[in-house]
Amino acid sequence: MLGKLARTLLVGAAVGSAVAAPAASAASAASAAPDPVHRVVAKVAPKQFFAGLVNAKIRGAVIDVLCPGPANLGHPLAHQTVQVNQFLPPVTPTTGYTGTAGTSIGVWLNWPAAAPPAPVYVATLTSYRSAPIPTSITVPCSGSGEMLFLPSPGSSTVRAATVGLTFVNIGV
């Protein structure tokens, strides 16, 4: 890229064209600009630190729930997400680690409950990206919970990332 630009500038100077150098500079600037459509997405791999996010928050997240009437359980609203981002040290107590073997991260939603079904499966991510929270799962209408981001396959060095959250019934 730089060689092509240098050749273009030298040819422009030799010919004495006042148009060649600005045109080459504009072409080079356009090709060097990042292309938002072709972002590089990193794969989950062993020996990586990562952070889990719920609705773009690493702590104090909220999951909006629609609960009909006086129900105790409902479904998450659409357009809510979980996400994993690769993280560089220094790390925090909620930062995860893929260990010596991790190549994917399973996402599970958990809350204090007197009876099952918690924890509930949300997604599996093999790259650092976001995924929707399924609207088909059943969750509490209020109270606290935790999203668990667990690397797989497991090893003795795996560490899960966690995000504390609150369920909020928007139907009240």
On whether both 12 and 87 belong to a single domain, the answer is no
Residue 42 inside a domain? The answer is: no
* Overall number of domains in the chain: 2
Residue 146 inside a domain? The answer is: yes
Q: Report d(CA 38, CA 59) in Å as an integer.
A: 30
pLDDT digits (tens, 9 = 90+) for 77-118: 999 999 999 988 888 888 999 999 999 999 999 998 766 667
On whether both 86 and 160 belong to a single domain, the answer is yes
Q: Report d(CA 159, CA 172) in Å as an integer.
A: 37
On whether both 140 and 81 belong to a single domain, the answer is yes
User: pTM of this prediction?
Assistant: 0.75
Whole domain around residue 24: which residue ranges? Answer: 2-33
pLDDT digits (tens, 9 = 90+) for 128-167: 999 999 999 999 999 999 999 999 999 999 999 999 999 9
Q: Residue type for 166, please? A: T
On whether both 84 and 6 belong to a single domain, the answer is no
The number of CA neighbours under 13 Å toward the Cβ of 66 is 8
Residue 43 inside a domain? The answer is: no
On whether both 58 and 130 belong to a single domain, the answer is yes
On whether both 86 and 117 belong to a single domain, the answer is yes
